[in-house]
Amino acid sequence: MMLPVWLKKLLAKLDKKTHSPSLTAFEIFRYIGPGLLVTVGFIDPGNWAANISGGAEFGTQLLWVITLSTFMLIVLQHNAAHLGIATGLCLSEAATFHLPVRTGRFLVGSAVLAAISTMIAELLGAAIAINMLLGVPIKLAALVSTLFVAFFLYSNSYKRIETIIIGFVSIIGISFIYELHLVPVDWGTTFRHWVTPTFPDGSIVLVMSILGAVVMPHNLFLHSEIIQSRQWNLEDEQVIKRQLKYEFLDTLFSMGIGWAINSAMIIVAAYTFFSARIDVVDLSQASVVLEPILGKGAALVFAFALLCAGIASSITAGIAGGSIFAGLFGEPYDIKDAHSRLGVNLILGLSLAIIFLIDDTLQGLVLSQVVLSLQLPFTIYLLVRLTSSREVMGAHVNPPRTRWLLISFGIIITLLNFYLLFDFAKGVLS
């Protein structure tokens, strides 16, 4: 049946309106979400361990790492989302389609290893929480956590409770910020440490751990994947520009929240443990920092919050890992697809196996974040290579200043990694 011309035009306008975001304040919230989901990684168990250990051992001297890594993160996450919006591909898919086969597989393969390292921290944190709550042995608790996470990933049930988990974990993060009013903070010294890089003796492992806990490689892959859920009409240039604009606001807002929570964790630990010269040898010790707010029930609330953080971040790490692995085959993440399922199973299975070999849980959490910092330059290189290519990005290719900024991040992290290796070799030889 032929439609009248006027009806075709009307339908076209309605279709464009349906797929295009408007300028109202309410519509802006349709863009908020991907950044907040990524921010779950800011308060995952590995992050808690790195921040609390850093504050307990070196006071506020490592706050500059939070500032530097958050600035890096805003630029990197925006570029990852930029890639997803402009191409309709996640980072892993784009690497498979646009890079030489060996180069693409090497870079994406290293990202799979980073996802495994991330999953180790998330599952281990959830296991520690179960141990605190129920007294279940860590390794058995890790198995229970793995099965629980697998259930949510395979059933897609996580989408139904995602907001609740993120909301609860955010409340605990805000509790750390609120505690700043309850501890005697020297704000002059604190502000100086936010902007002045220092490397106290023996701090490089924690510097790299904090950096890896904030700028997490798997989150760059995750952001480029989940941004697809906010896409409308990729053939409309105005829509793409609008998305890029509001995506950046989402990223800036979400990463800013992460910066505040990370900083608060270090500051509270510094003025709770470092000031009292208390060595933190177990993550469960950190429950005492909530006692001024929550009283004697602090350990219970802390453990439950840690459990929520562990489960939430394990599921997002599973999605990221499945997405990375599926991208090796040029496919988007879909838990119903064989390659996505294989990727999820591989990451969960290997992570659990490694946890069974770990005896020092706090050290295991910290070192898992160091592994992320070692892999990070490879992911940055991948991001630079793709977003600086006109063939990949078209009109949305990165300008030279952005490309060189990303390259400088890679150089900084690489130099810090060499410093870490040099410090490690010096310790072995001495």
Instruction: Give the residue-averaged pLDDT of 106-110.
Output: 90
Q: What pLDDT, on the 0 to 100 scale, is given for residue 348?
A: 94
% of the chain surpassing 70 pLDDT: 78
CATH code matching the domain that covers 33-84+103-375, chosen among 3.30.2290.10, 1.20.1740.10, 1.20.970.10, 3.40.50.12780: 1.20.1740.10
Q: 95 or 295: which carries more pLDDT confidence?
A: 95
Report the pLDDT value the prediction gives residue 9, as an integer from 0 to 100.
43
Residue 308 has pLDDT above 70, yes or no: yes
345 has a pLDDT exceeding 50: yes
pLDDT digits (tens, 9 = 90+) for 222-238: 877 777 655 544 555 66
Q: What is the pLDDT of residue 396?
A: 82
For every residue of the chain, which 3-state class applies, written as one string? CCCCHHHHHHHHHHHHHHHCCCCCHHHHCCCCCHHHHHHHHHHCHHHHHHHHHHHHHHCCCCHHHHHHHHHHHHHHHHHHHHHHHHHCCCHHHHHHHHCCHHHHHHHHHHHHHHHHHHHHHHHHHHHHHHHHHHCCCHHHHHHHHHHHHHHHHHHCCHHHHHHHHHHHHHHHHHHHHHHCCCCCCCHHHHHHHHHCCCCCCCCHHHHHHHHHHHCCHHHHHHHHHHHHHHCCCCCCHHHHHHHHHHHHHHHHHHHHHHHHHHHHHHHHHHHHHHCCCCCCCCHHHHHHHHHHHHHHHHHHHHHHHHHHHHHHHHHHHHHHHHHHHHHCCCCCCCCCCHHHHHHHHHHHHHHHHHHCCCCCHHHHHHHHHHHHHHHHHHHHHHHHHHHCCHHHHHHHCCCHHHHHHHHHHHHHHHHHHHHHHHHHHHHHHC
Mean pLDDT, range 404-413, rounded to an integer: 90
Q: Evaluate if residue 325 carries a pLDDT over 80.
A: yes
Average pLDDT over residues 49-56: 87
Query: What proportion of the chain, given as a percentage, has pLDDT over 90?
Result: 18
| Average confidence score pLDDT of the chain | 79
* pLDDT of 58: 93
Q: Indicate if the pLDDT at residue 243 is higher than 60.
A: yes
pLDDT digits (tens, 9 = 90+) for 153-192: 888 665 666 676 677 777 777 777 777 777 888 999 999 9
Q: What would the mean pLDDT of 89-95 be, rounded to a whole number?
A: 88
- 257-268 per-position pLDDT tens digit: 888 888 988 998
Banded model confidence at residue 248, pLDDT cuts 50, 70, 90: confident
